[in-house]
Amino acid sequence: MQQILIIGAGKSTAVLIRYLSEKSSEENFTICVADKELSLAKRAIKNHENCTAISFDIFNSEHREKHIAAMDIVISMLPARFHIKIAKTCLKLKKNLVTASYISKEMKALATEVKEAGLIFMNEIGVDPGIDHMSAMQVIDRIRNAGGQMLMFESFCGGLVAPESDNNLWNYKFTWNPRNVVVAGQGGVAKFIQEGKYKYIPYHRLFRRTEFLDIEGYGRFEAYANRNSLDYREAYGLHDILTLYRGTVRRVGYSRAWNMFVQLGMTDDSFTMEDSENMTYREFVNSFLPYSPTDSVELKLRHNLKIDQDDIMWEKLLELDLFNNHKTIGIESATPAQALQKILEEKWLLSSEDKDMIVMYHKFGYQLNGEKKQIDSTMVCIGKDQTETAMAKTVGLPVGIAARKILKKEINTPGVHLPISKEVYQPILEELQENGIIFKEKQTNYLGYNAIGGVSN
């Protein structure tokens, strides 16, 4: 009987554990779920058949090697920075590895050794990265195989609140890591290529350069640029493409509203604030505004941001209770980003009845037989509840399917990989479709690059 070790029992593991458990008896494998907190691992397995729970200390090398040595394949669901410890142990003990995270420089440095050992280290096999890679490469390969030439590739993804749970003015709630939302786009410039011209969007302009997206049955969305779209030229073999752009999806109006925080400096994570543990929400806001002996905090903020009292932007700020003079940040030496996150979590955490939603949208522009054409491909996944969320499903299922395929030697090319080969994406996408993760395609007229304000270069 083969054995699978899942390290980490966080939010994304519920669907992964259920999926593997349902396959375990038929395919003759067991699942061991390991976490620093044994109670969390026990809760995660929910008495699933063929599942056990153990306490796991990633920093204890003897302990780590003991448990990994007994397994046939390891799935690391830990934060990305910890994968390399697991990877080096897997390499030493000759065990295959699956993660949902981006391939780090440290992981990439193991590529030659992993290949020589005949091992498979499959990375970027969640939703974004993961399902985005696989669904994109399936269409790109199809276009190439028909003799087409890629002209444009745009790709968008976002974790949102489902329509039935969308009940605030921001049309947004935290469906994953709140910190990643608050600091999104920082630490670099957004880079992409548009009609053969390199384009750059600095952070202070990022949320005012958006593209509209329409998805049948779900309405209109907007997207702002991801940090570096150019990385995907090499990964997807799009070296000569004229337009390459990737973005994050939100409901229309979110980016304009979020930009208020950016302009004030509230998303800054580079410095700490004095006496932040005793600072009220109102004092936090006021700390970014000029002094006035007469004007209120509200009036100063409206004047600073040039918004009228009847502007929906003002209503969005009021909804967050930003001007409360009784609630405190309660975090010692907090950065502005940490303080803002604390305030937002009061309003944007999902309630027990809420459902989340994953939205993905690809645009493929290409030339075939002298004609320019375009394919738009969309996927929407809505969560079942607070355990089987859309995020847990779209991360957990591809991770679980990949692990099974590697165990069964249906995926057998050694190396450090992301899922862009047909050997990987074809069977996984087929099984995802059986589980309700379905891409809908439509052929449209190719208009060239229409993001970020039109087709001019």
The answer to whether residue 79 sits within a structural domain is: yes
Average pLDDT of the chain to the nearest whole number: 95
Sheet holding 415-417, edge to edge: 51-55, 29-35, 2-7, 73-76, 96-99, 120-122, 415-417
Q: Which of 123, 151, 170 is the last residue of a domain?
A: 123
pLDDT for 382 equals 97
Residue 206 counted as domain residue: yes
Same domain membership, residue 183 and residue 76: no
What tokens does 421 get?
């080969």
Final residue before a domain boundary, out of 123, 157, 191:
123
The CATH number of whichever domain residue 83 belongs to comes to: 3.40.50.720
What pLDDT sits at residue 450?
Answer: 53
* Same domain as 357, residue 249: yes
In a domain, 70, yes or no: yes
- Is residue 400 one of the residues assigned to a domain? no
- The tens digit of pLDDT for each residue in 322-354 reads 999 999 999 999 999 999 999 999 999 999 999
Domain boundaries, position 108: 2-123
151 with 242, same domain?
yes
In this structure, the answer to whether residues 241 and 356 fall within a common structural domain is yes
Does residue 232 sit in the same domain as residue 371?
yes
Low-confidence ranges of the chain (pLDDT < 50): 451-456
The answer to whether 373 touches 443, Cβ cutoff 8 Å, is yes
How far apart are alpha carbons 133 and 122 in whole angstroms? Answer: 13
Same domain, 116 and 239: no
Residue 238 lies inside a defined structural domain of this protein: yes
pLDDT of the residue at 453: 45
> Is residue 356 situated within a structural domain?
yes
Domain holding 234: CATH number? 3.30.360.10
Do 114 and 15 lie in one domain? The reply is yes
Indicate the number of domains in the chain: 3
Final residue of a domain: which of 98, 123, 148? Answer: 123
Contact between 338 and 331 under an 8 Å Cβ cutoff? The reply is: yes
* 182 occurs within a structural domain: yes
User: Following CA atoms 91, 92, 94, 96 in sequence, which dihedral angle do they give, to the nearest 10 degrees?
Assistant: -30
**Is the CA virtual torsion 37, 43, 45, 49 positive or negative?**
positive
- Separation CA 289–CA 297 (nearest Å): 8
Residues 19, 38 within the same domain: yes
Does the residue 83 lie in any domain? yes
Residues 228 and 337 grouped into a single domain:
no
> Do 334 and 300 belong to one domain?
yes
Report the half-sphere exposure of 57 (CA within 13 A, side-chain side).
5
Bridge-partner residues for 223, per DSSP? 211, 249
Whether residues 216 and 290 share a domain: the answer is no
The answer on 163 and 18 residing in a single domain is: no
Residue 438: how many CB atoms within 10 A of its CB?
A: 13
